[in-house]
Amino acid sequence: MSAIEQKSPYQIAQEQFDLAAEFMGLEDDLRHVLRVPKRELTTTFPVRMDDGSVKAFTGYRVQHNVTRGPGKGGIRYHQDVTLDEVRALAMWMTWKCAVVNIPFGGAKGGVVVDPTGLSMRELENLTRRFATEISPLIGHDGDIPAPDVNTNQQIMAWLMDTISMHTGHLESAITTGKPLGLGGSLGRADATGRGVSFVVASAAKFLNLDLNGATTVVQGFGNVGSVSATMLHDLGCKIVGISDVNGGICNKDGIDPHALVRHMKKTRTVIDYPGVERISNSELLELPCEILVPAALEKQITADNAARIRPKILAEGANGPTTPEADEILFSNNVFVVPDILANAGGVTVSYFEWVQDLQSFFWNEDEINHRLKLVMDASFQAVNQRAQAHKIPLRLAANILAIERVAEATRLRGIYP
């Protein structure tokens, strides 16, 4: 792997920012402010385990920018979480919210833990104590967490309940991605994958690619991957390859993702699905196809494999799946890359709808939510793509420029206090 590929996600996020700032001629004063996080909280806290012992865990909450609205971003539970990873994810949240023009800033949180090793009680203890530790930052008008890798609706319910216990009343708008019975929004669970399918449809229309029978590969079959695959299948695409952490499967005649979802409920993996060929995750990414959706991890498409990855459309369901070096190779090969901050923004958009509904205590029906999501995703795609075509630049650079312009304008208008 080359030197650039060794960079941390935070270094990559800053490099992407610098590229956009340079292209748009952003003034130095704003560059200094916008390329680093505003606030960072690191906490090491005790949790009582089931056997009576006490263990210490470390967690982070980073607010990259809160100029356009409260910090917004998920909380990740993973053994590999680092402060640098959380900083990058917080920064990408700032640009993501600005690209789809919702009134939020960017934040992210994480705890260094492998949650698969915890009982439900230990997971609840850890969540409630972490919520207490980050509570000085959290609030419906300050910073609003959401689920991310290995966190879910139940964890959002515990987090919300803990903050509500501190304030003495229900604080439903302090998290999103909650269960429906606690102020969650219809359509939130499918929103990210639905948004991916909307941007793929817009990109296909722009490129004159017929979605009917378009060969499609999806890496990752969790929340984002499974919904993206089923929705693209329903639009007529032929899903020829799918993978999860255990490996990949392919079939040139097509895989029915609805049947695969039912299969997953029984065996919890895609690799033992009948009637398909087994392949590795790296072979999966290089399968010939017209549409590729990476929906698993960061840094999957690098200088090492980018030259062999030749879809017509690459829509980033995951955050940060493509390195800057790979971006250059894909652009020179005419791969139409729809970047993460646009392609997977459907999730935060419906999180915004959830927050609005909670604040108003007035809930919308699912058709209204999906319709409003489509309006936001279609308009954002057009705004980014027009800019990309006008300047003959990649969509990632165009999206970053649009986002940075919006945050920079808000910063100039607010001025520097005092």
Which of the residues are catalytic? 108
Selected from 63, 94, 197, 223, the binder of ligand NAD by CB under 6 A is 223
* By CB under 6 A, residue 225 contacts ligand NAD: yes
Q: How far apart are the first and last CA of the chain?
A: 47
**Site residues for ligand NAD, window 32-61 (CB under 6 A)?**
none
CB of 219 to ligand NAD, least distance (A): 5
With contacts defined by CB under 6 A, how many residues of the chain interact with ligand NAD? 22
| Cα–Cα distance for residue pair 207/203, rounded to 1 Å | 6
Selected from 63, 94, 197, 219, the binder of ligand NAD by CB under 6 A is 219
Residue 50 · residue 122 · CB < 8 Å: yes
CB of 11 to ligand NAD, least distance (A): 18
For 156: left if phi > 0, alpha if psi spans -120 to 50, otherwise beta; the answer is alpha
Q: x/- string (CB under 6 A) for ligand NAD, residues 118-157?
A: ------------------------------xx--------
Residue (of 248, 334, 335) closest to 284 by Cα position: 248
Beta carbon nearer to ligand NAD, 106 or 408: 106
CB of 149 to ligand NAD, least distance (A): 5
Beta carbon nearer to ligand NAD, 21 or 113: 113
Beta carbon nearer to ligand NAD, 73 or 183: 73
CB of 146 to ligand NAD, least distance (A): 8
Residues near 22 by beta carbon (within 8 Å), at least 6 away in sequence: none
Residue 108 · residue 76 · CB < 8 Å: yes
Stretch that binds ligand NAD, among 6-14, 22-30, 221-229, 302-310 (CB under 6 A): 221-229
* By CB under 6 A, residue 63 contacts ligand NAD: no
CB of 74 to ligand NAD, least distance (A): 7
Q: x/- string (CB under 6 A) for ligand NAD, residues 355-374?
A: --------------------
Beta carbon nearer to ligand NAD, 89 or 330: 89
Beta carbon nearer to ligand NAD, 26 or 257: 257
Beta carbon nearer to ligand NAD, 26 or 353: 353
CB of 403 to ligand NAD, least distance (A): 15
**Site residues for ligand NAD, window 239-298 (CB under 6 A)?**
243-245, 281, 295-297
Q: x/- string (CB under 6 A) for ligand NAD, residues 319-358?
A: x------------------------x--x-----------
Selected from 118, 126, 224, 404, the binder of ligand NAD by CB under 6 A is 224
Beta carbon nearer to ligand NAD, 179 or 213: 179
Residues near 185 by beta carbon (within 8 Å), at least 6 away in sequence: 176, 350, 351, 353, 354, 357, 363, 364, 369
| Cα–Cα distance for residue pair 95/346, rounded to 1 Å | 14
Which residue is nearest to ligand NAD, using beta carbons?
Answer: 222
Instruction: List residues binding ligand NAD (CB under 6 A).
Output: 148-149, 192, 219-225, 243-245, 281, 295-297, 317-319, 344, 347
